[in-house]
Amino acid sequence: MGNRTTRPKNGPRFVAAYVTGASSGIGAELVRRLVARGTRVVAVARRSERLAALAAALPGSVAIEVLDVADTDAVRASVAAWDARFLAEHGVGLDLVVANAGVGLGEHARDVAFENLERSLQVNTLGAMATLHAGLRCFLERGASGTLCGVSSLAGTGGFPSSGSYAASKAALSTWLETLQADLAGSGVSVVDVRPGYVHTEMTADAGHALPFAWPVERAVTRILAGLDRGTPRVVFPWQLRLILGALERAPRSVWRATMRVIARRS
């Protein structure tokens, strides 16, 4: 084993974090909050201008990297490189890795292009897995504790009209995170599955349909950080949508299918 990450006494809960999808929405707000708490953050996204603006607003506190997580080799190399860099420069490696990058390509099954199906899985599932797998390797090789966080979705509960690839990609991520939680129990590595409902972000701004029980991004990130601090296995919100979908999930599957057909006809 290599050097173990040592958290400074009276320091921030997380010393060094790697956050994907950091150019807007939940990712950008998470970066801001972590920096405010004293965490060194690597902000990763595809949009260089947005990342530059974020870093300029938080001078000296944020490192940026322009990267598409669909390039799984690149994101794995990036996580490893930043972990090594923090260890060399500050004596501590990454102790929080957040796979937040995602795309929502909602299209009816009759109209969806295969390229969009493929893109959803490349980013939402494989990109997230690559990010977290790389973080896990860093923790294990150093014999270090740490937290892995994947942002999935309540959409992964089941099939939703015109959201097939998105729902499937998030369901796959959630299942994998649950497996990690079992495999890594007692290892010192916490695995957190964040399952939001609707959040007011750029992704949902053009949804073209109602956003029931939607939360502002600031409230969402407050809840996420509380879960990360505790190492909560699942962070699920809002409670109203969780309750409704949970009831549908426990009912016979025919009830779910009938409900989704009603929603599809009304949308």
Q: Which CATH number belongs to the domain containing residue 139 in this structure?
A: 3.40.50.720
User: Does residue 103 lie in a domain region?
Assistant: yes
User: Does residue 10 lie in a domain region?
Assistant: no
Domain hosting 127: range is 16-266
pLDDT of residue 205: 62
Q: Where are the alpha helices (DSSP H) in 121-238?
A: 128-142, 164-183, 202-205, 217-230
Q: Are 116 and 105 in contact (CB under 8 A)?
A: yes
Q: Classify the C-alpha dihedral 243-105-30-2 as positive or negative.
A: positive
User: Does residue 11 lie in a domain region?
Assistant: no
pLDDT of residue 209: 64
Instruction: Give the span between the Cα atoms of 165 and 124, in whole angstroms.
Output: 10
Please tell me what DSSP assigns to residue 106. Answer: -
151 bridge partner residues? 194
User: Does residue 183 lie in a domain region?
Assistant: yes
CB count within 10 Å of CB 224 equals 24
pLDDT of residue 213: 86
User: Does residue 131 lie in a domain region?
Assistant: yes
pLDDT of residue 4: 47
17 bridge partner residues? 41, 96
pLDDT in tens, the chain (267 residues): 444 445 555 568 999 999 999 999 999 999 999 999 999 999 999 999 999 999 999 988 899 999 999 999 999 999 999 999 999 999 999 999 999 999 987 778 888 889 989 999 999 999 999 999 999 999 999 998 999 999 999 999 998 888 889 999 999 999 999 999 999 999 999 999 999 998 987 776 666 567 788 999 999 999 999 999 999 999 999 999 999 999 999 999 999 899 989 888 876
User: Does residue 8 lie in a domain region?
Assistant: no
This prediction's pTM: 0.92
Question: Does the annotation mark 166 as catalytic?
Answer: yes
Q: What is the CA radius of gyration of the chain?
A: 18
Q: Looking at 82, 86, 160, 166, which residue is catalytic?
A: 166
Structure tokens at 242: 């969780």
Instruction: Give the span between the Cα atoms of 191 and 181, in whole angstroms.
Output: 6
Is residue 204 packed enough to be buried (19+ CB in 10 Å), middle (13-18) or exposed (0-12)?
middle
CB count within 10 Å of CB 128 equals 30
pLDDT of residue 3: 44
Instruction: Give the span between the Cα atoms of 245 and 136, in whole angstroms.
Output: 31
Q: Classify the C-alpha dihedral 35-37-41-47 as positive or negative.
A: negative
User: Does residue 9 lie in a domain region?
Assistant: no
Scanning the structure block, which residue is given the tokens 């015109």? Answer: 162
Q: Are 173 and 125 in contact (CB under 8 A)?
A: yes
User: Does residue 67 lie in a domain region?
Assistant: yes
Please name which of 128, 138, 139, 146 lies closest in space to residue 75, comparing C-alpha atoms: 128
Helix or strand holding residue 224 (H, E): helix 217-230
Number of domains in the chain: 1
